[in-house]
Amino acid sequence: MTIENISCNKSFGGWHKQYTHRSEVNRCTMRFAIYLPPQCSNGSKVPVVYWLSGLTCTDENFMQKAGALRVAAELGIAIVAPDTSPRGDDVADDDNYDLGKGAGFYVNATQAPWATHYQMYDYVVKELPAIIEEHFPVSTQRAISGHSMGGHGALSIALKNPAMFTSASAFSPITNPVNCPWGEKAFTAYLGDDKTAWQQYDTVCLLTESTTNVPMMVDQGLDDNFLAEQLKPEALLQAATQKDYPLTLRQHDGYDHSYYFIASFIDDHLRFHAAHF
C-alpha cells in the first residue's frame, strides 16, 4: 500500500505526520494522522492508541486540540487518528451534519447509496492497522479510544475484536445508538430498517452478550448538552454492572461535550492504556 506524506511537524521530541492513501475498502482517498514518539528514533517499536473522532471531525481535531502528545511522548505511545468518513466528490453525502461525510459511524454500510464507500468498520479494524504496521515502527500492541460518535466506535470495535485491543476508552460515547436519535438516523440509512442488524454496532448490546473482557474507561461530563437524549451512560453502566464487566465510568460536574473536556482528562486515558500494554 502506497502512502503519501502531506505534513510533518516535530512535537515533544517526536513527529506528527499526516498521510493520504487510496483506500481499497472505502474506494476513495483517505487521510490519517500519526504521532510517532521520540522512542521511535532509536528503532524501537512502540504500541499504538487508535483515536476515533466524533461527528463533523477529521483527523486534525484530536491532534490539534486534545493536548495528548506530551504524555504520548513520555510514555512512548504512537497515536493514530483516521478521518471520520470517506471523502470525495463521488462519495454520498447528506445536507445535515449527522449523516454522510464526517459521520461514518464506524460501520460497514449495506444500503445504497452509502454501501459503495462507507466501510469505516473494515477501514479501522483491517485496512488502517495493516498500513500502520507496514510503514511505521509500531508493535502489534493496540488500544482504541474516541469521543462521542468515535467513543461509540472505539467501545463497539473493542468488544467485537477483544483479541486485537488490550484496552478501550471513550469520552462522552454514544453508548446505545439503537435507542438514540443520532444512532437511529445513521443506522437506518447505513444498515436498513432491520433493527436486529444494528445491534452488532451497539456497545450496550455487545457488552450484554460479551464473553471476553476488554478493560474499559469512560469519562462523561455532566453538563453535556447531549447527555440524556443521545449518550445514555446509565445504559452502559447498567449493562456492565449486570455482566460484572471491567468498566470504569467517571462522571464530572461542570464539563461539557467539547475538547476542553477531552484535554482535561486525556492524560488519564493514555496512562490507562499504557498500564495494559
pLDDT tens digits, one per residue of 230-265: 999 999 999 999 999 999 999 999 999 999 999 999
Q: Which residue has the cell 455482566?
A: 243
**How many CA atoms lie within 13 Å of 173's alpha carbon, on the beta-carbon side?**
35
Residue 169: active-site member = no
Q: What pLDDT was estimated at residue 153?
A: 98
Residue 83: active-site member = no
φ/ψ of 226, rounded to 5, equals -100, 5
Q: For the chain, what's the residue count? A: 277
What are the C-alpha distances in Å from 18 to residues 44, 157, 236?
21, 24, 34
Give the bridge partners for 49, in sequence order: 79, 143
- Categorize the per-residue pLDDT at 43 as very low, low, confident or very high, splitting at 50, 70 and 90: confident
Residue 244: active-site member = no
pLDDT tens digits, one per residue of 113-135: 999 999 999 999 999 999 999 99
Active-site residue identified among 59, 98, 219, 224: 224
Mean pLDDT of 198-225: 97
Task: Share the mean pLDDT of the chain.
Answer: 98
Q: What pLDDT was estimated at residue 248?
A: 98
Active-site residue identified among 148, 169, 172, 210: 148
CA distance 276 to 125: 19
- Categorize the per-residue pLDDT at 147 as very low, low, confident or very high, splitting at 50, 70 and 90: very high
Question: Pairing state of beta strands 28-36 and 14-23?
Answer: antiparallel
Active-site residue identified among 152, 257, 269, 273: 257
CA distance 86 to 102: 8
Helix and strand totals (H; E) in the chain: 10, 9
